[in-house]
Structure 1
Amino acid sequence: MFHKEGAKIILGALVVTVAVLLLSDHFLENRWLVGAIQVFTLVFLILILQFFRNPKRHVTITDHNIIAPVDGKVVVIEEVYEPEYFKDKRLQVSIFMSPINVHVTRYPVNGLVKFSKYHPGKYLVAWHPKASEENERTTIVIENNLFGEILYRQIAGALARRIVNYAQEGTQVVQGTDAGFIKFGSRVDLFLPLGTKVDVQLNQKAIGGKTIIATKA
């Protein structure tokens, strides 16, 4: 299954692929060149399809866990000052997504969306220290019954040129459901209350909707 955000791109890639396969064979005589063009086009289509894949995952919904909002690698676990919403210290957990990861964003907790804001910005590589403050990004805050307010931030990377955010202020959201999409590389930062028990380690692989980031008794 593929994500709806990729529908136009996938359709366009299919049209281009079919056209190249038909026309290259008709207009070019060099068989090696025809083969190379056709292979390149098919590989391009496969990459587009795998990027927009949207695997269905069974989510165990509970207020006692914060789950990974995206697939990727845990690259940051540290106390930081969060200047936009909390304006105090929080525990940051960041997950970096490579172009081969699933790029669906899922709600990490149940709760009420208290804050949702889009920021235009730069396109620094997603692991750059300033990416969280200077890149194109969205900031979303969800109020959860047990953890209180949880902030997650979708951050565009060097290749990402569009962030899709479905979170609307004042709506109730369900843990693990579709919260948006980031097109072509990026990262997501989670900002948790200090003292939160983190259940992941640096460089650990995270699976969106499945990996438990933090727990509360």
Structure 2
Amino acid sequence: MRLHKEGIKMIPLMAVFTGGLYVLLYWLIPFAAVQIILAIAAVIFMVLVIRFFRDPKVITPPRDGVVYAPAEGKVVVIERVYEGEYHKDDRIQVSIFMSPLNVHVNRSPVKGKVDFFQYHPGKFLVAWHPKSSTDNERTSVGFKTENGVNILMRQIAGAVARRIAFYPSIGDPMEQGTSVGFIRFGSRVDLFLPLDADIKVKIGDLTKGGETEVATLK
């Protein structure tokens, strides 16, 4: 299993913390049965941490006009909204919620270039809260396709997430499905698409980053 670079940084720290906590509880609770349970819990916890930082190989078929899911998760919002940061007009918002069990690698939804980037500090409301898109810690990333269509991707921290990473810079070329970022421990990604986009998903659908077609652009 390939690990994301965020995990290579984080897993050793979590292992030290888990090991230290286990040793402390081992000496404080001198009962063999409890110690065995604690050891099993520590192993399970570390397995989940390692699994969280997995970075599976994704092959994204290049298709003109297709907007791919930027993340693995569940579609929780499809609605018309006013997007006032990048487009400054009405857009179709498609939101994907990522639970701690999902792959948390974020991928470029389109081919083109990074046209805009803005980081916003903020709150840590649960990721499915209606105001999380505007009140939570987040990054806003604008993409311009080769056909000149602009879309916005917003990475949003949730109640548990405490780090949002986006690696490319403004002007960098993007291919569909390219790994561009990571959100740690439960979060959400919003897409803001043109009103005439043909939406291919519905509420409750499960997506895979770089594989599921979210919409096609005209």
Fold in common (TM above 0.5): yes
Shift of 1:13: 3.0
Aligned to 2:101: 100
Aligned to 2:13: 12
TM-score, L = length of structure 1: 0.93
| 22 and 155 in structure 1: CA distance in 2 versus 1, 3 angstrom threshold | closer
Cα separation, 1, equivalents of 2:123 and 2:191? 20
Q: Report if the CA contact (8 A) 1:147-1:193 is conserved.
A: no
Cα separation, 1, equivalents of 2:26 and 2:121? 44
Aligned to 2:133: 132
- Tell me whether 32-41 or 55-64 shows the greater mean CA deviation: 55-64
Cα separation, 1, equivalents of 2:26 and 2:91? 59
Aligned to 1:40: 41
Shift of 1:19: 6.2
Shift of 1:57: 1.2
Aligned to 1:150: 151
Shift of 1:8: 2.2
Q: How does 1:1-217 map to 2 (within 5 A)?
A: 1-16=2-17, 29-146=30-147, 148-216=149-217
Cα separation, 2, equivalents of 1:156 and 1:27? 36
| 205 and 34 in structure 1: CA distance in 2 versus 1, 3 angstrom threshold | same
Q: Report if the CA contact (8 A) 2:196-2:217 is conserved.
A: no
- Tell me whether 178-187 or 54-63 shows the greater mean CA deviation: 54-63
Q: How many correspondences in the alignment?
A: 217
Q: Report if the CA contact (8 A) 1:20-1:38 is conserved.
A: no
CA-atom RMSD in angstroms: 2.0
Q: Report if the CA contact (8 A) 1:63-1:144 is conserved.
A: no
Identical positions, percent: 49
Cα separation, 1, equivalents of 2:75 and 2:142? 20
Q: Deviations over 1:42-98 (max 9, x none)?
A: 111011011111111111122221000000000111110001111110011110111
Q: What residue ranges of structure 1 are gaps of 5+ in the alignment?
A: none
Q: Secondary structure in 2 aligned to 1:124?
A: coil
Shift of 1:146: 3.5
Q: Report if the CA contact (8 A) 1:97-1:187 is conserved.
A: yes
| 25 and 76 in structure 1: CA distance in 2 versus 1, 3 angstrom threshold | closer
Q: What residue ranges of structure 2 are gaps of 5+ in the alignment?
A: none
